[in-house]
Amino acid sequence: MELSTKVAVIGAGHAGIEAALASARMGVDTVLFTISLEAIANMPCNPSIGGTAKGHLVYEIDALGGEMGRAADAVTLQSRTLNLGKGAAVHSKRVQADRKRYQAYMKAVLEKTPNLRLVQAEITEIKADENRHVCGVMTHLGELWHCECAIVAAGTYLESRIFIGSTNYESGPDGFLPSRGLSASLRALGITLRRFKTGTPARINRRSVDLSRLEAQPGEEAPLPYAASTPEHYMQGVEQIPCHIVYTNKDTHDVIKENLTRSAMYGGHIHGTGPRYCPSIEDKVVRFADKERHQLFLEPLGADTDELYLQGFSTSMPTDVQAKMLKTLPGFENAEMMRYAYAIEYDCCDPKELTATLEFRTVKGLFGAGQFNGTSGYEEAAAQGLLAGLNAALKVKGEEGVILPRSSSYLGTLVDDLIIKGTNEPYRMMTSRSEYRLLLRQDNADTRLTPLAHRVGLVDDARYEAFLQKQAHIAAEIERLGATHLSPDRVNPFLAMLGESPVTTGISLAALLRRPGVTYENLQALDENRPVLTRKETLSAEVQIKYEGYINRQMCEVSRHEKLESRMLPDTLDYKSIKGLRIEAAQKLAAQRPATIGQASRISGVSPADISVLLIHLGLR
């Protein structure tokens, strides 16, 4: 049987969901394929959304009209803001999500979205025409779906294999079927595939753990939501479920060391590359041999289940060793495992074969997103999915694709890192990866990205009007605080209470707010008649005032770099013929085909001298 659609999305994990929703919401007929409808929005690893830098990505997804933030708000069990002891640039929201409710929420959204069909079928082949343009996808049932674009968002399913000690078998995460055949089809199209690995810890029955011996970790009071559409008081009256902290000890490490060769990783069974920043517990014990203990987090999987997740205790040890390791932890002497820990290997692409729109250079209309692109994490996956989906929709419409510069977003940084630098291990977003992190804060994600989302049709007029109103309120408040001056007699008693040095002349409220000990909240003692604003509005106004000098400095850096980013490189440029360009640089430039001088400058092996040669050759100096 032959069927048709415009965009085919392969995989209904976090990347596939956002890709399909973005495409469909832009008015393009879209089909989302999944091996199992029960696997939609599955969280095979930790049941959380956000975290350091990942929270920024969730805010960016929401600013672009994506769904992850709204879903996380709807199923929050606990919310915390990380790094509050540091500057605003690295403040990162993280929530514990109800795993099953998250899946149900996303499935319902997909089912109700116009222009979107949800189909349970395994895609085993991607077809391209004689011009190397995608023209269809084939299911395992022999159905041919004609399409103009296909997005591979296969997560960890491609030829995936589970490892537990010396036992290994074909399987997707959480016992779902693996994807068989699609890897061979991608190779036939000329796509380079690699083998990566990740893992997950055991799940434990709550009633078998003595929580009184663990350190409780409560949520924060009155957290702010991810989504612009979620009311700011969304957690009011909701009892947050605590997490708990426990530490490994000498006994734990001794069990691991005694059984190290029985680990699938150290026993030579696993050949895929694992994540550097989320290693297995045996890897931690080996790599950090001087550490006497490692911190672990016991996290709830849902409000209606006793299943708990032990974050930081990922392993590929056999089941008997897992049990011994677990019982060395205080409070876990009688712990019962409901699901065993495992490692999983899977195929993924070389992201250097992608363009900045996440389309493969050598197969037109074929896009990649999520862990298939070599990343790790739900948030990185969802953000890429959204970008791939909107660009596939634009391609179908015959419009120019969207490219996000590094200075625009963590998503832009992530994509630029992947396609220019590549990755030899599962890539994880961190605030340190961005040279513009003071500009890329959580509080201003909508300022940076919502106008773009409105232009392409992912944010409707009503939401955009609310966004413009918010921006007007913030701008007016910044102006008011700068224009309101107070005398020393009024200000100095307030400063004395805070332990701040006095002033000798009149001072504006904005200048007071720039002092480290002064906050927008405690400044109300001198500013009784301030306008009524939302908490998100006051937060943005406060941050912009406090960090004005640093922000302006980074804006100047962005302006300087934009000159290189705006200088385009012809796709047909023959680098080997350019006189003065080193052989290594010519080879790498020819292989990666950077779109701009800025991208070329970030390729390993391309020196500043090579960039000068390019500029001179193109007459851009």
Predicted confidence band at 557 (pLDDT cuts at 50, 70, 90)? confident
What does the pLDDT read at residue 175?
93
Could you tell me the pTM of the whole model?
Answer: 0.94
| Lowest mean pLDDT across 158-167, 257-266, 500-509, 601-610 | 601-610
Residue with tokens 């001087």: 290
Measured distance CA(570)–CA(290) in Å, rounded: 52
What does the pLDDT read at residue 562?
80
Nearest to 364 by CA among 132, 126, 129, 30: 132
Measured distance CA(103)–CA(122) in Å, rounded: 20
Measured distance CA(72)–CA(14) in Å, rounded: 12
Helix, strand, coil tally for the chain in percent (to 5): 40, 20, 40
Residues 6+ apart with CB under 8 A from 401: 355, 357, 359, 391, 394, 395
Entry field: residues in the chain: 621
Write out pLDDT tens, residues 192-251: 999 999 999 999 999 999 999 999 999 999 999 999 999 999 999 999 999 999 999 999
Residue with tokens 């957690």: 235
What's the rounded mean pLDDT across residues 417-431? 93
Residue with tokens 């007029």: 461
Is pLDDT at 9 greater than 70 in this prediction? Answer: yes
| Cα–Cα distances in angstroms (integers) from residue 438 to residues 57, 153, 256, 557, 619, in the given order | 15, 31, 41, 12, 34
Is pLDDT at 529 greater than 80 in this prediction? Answer: yes
For residue 186, give the amino acid letter.
Answer: L
Write out pLDDT tens, residues 272-308: 676 676 788 998 998 888 999 999 999 999 999 999 9
What does the pLDDT read at residue 398?
97
Is pLDDT at 621 greater than 80 in this prediction? Answer: no
Write out pLDDT tens, residues 378-394: 999 999 999 999 999 99
Mean pLDDT of the chain: 94
What tokens were used for 152?
Answer: 């591979």
The long-range contacts involving 1-4, CB below 8 angstroms and separated by at least 24 positions, are 1/142, 1/143, 1/144, 2/143, 2/144, 2/145, 2/146, 3/143, 3/144, 3/145, 3/146, 4/145, 4/146, 4/147
Give residue 619's Cα distance to chain centre.
39
Write out pLDDT tens, residues 574-586: 888 888 888 888 8
Within 10 angstroms of residue 551's Cβ, the number of other Cβ atoms is 18
Nearest to 30 by CA among 8, 10, 15: 8
Give residue 225's Cα distance to chain centre.
17
Predicted confidence band at 462 (pLDDT cuts at 50, 70, 90)? very high
| Cα–Cα distances in angstroms (integers) from residue 333 to residues 216, 336, 382, 613, in the given order | 18, 9, 38, 66
Predicted confidence band at 620 (pLDDT cuts at 50, 70, 90)? low
Dihedral of alpha carbons 451, 538, 443, 16, sign: negative
Cα-trace Rg, the chain: 26
What's the rounded mean pLDDT across residues 364-386? 97
| Lowest mean pLDDT across 374-383, 422-431, 564-573 | 564-573
Query: What percent of the chain shows pLDDT beyond 70?
Result: 99
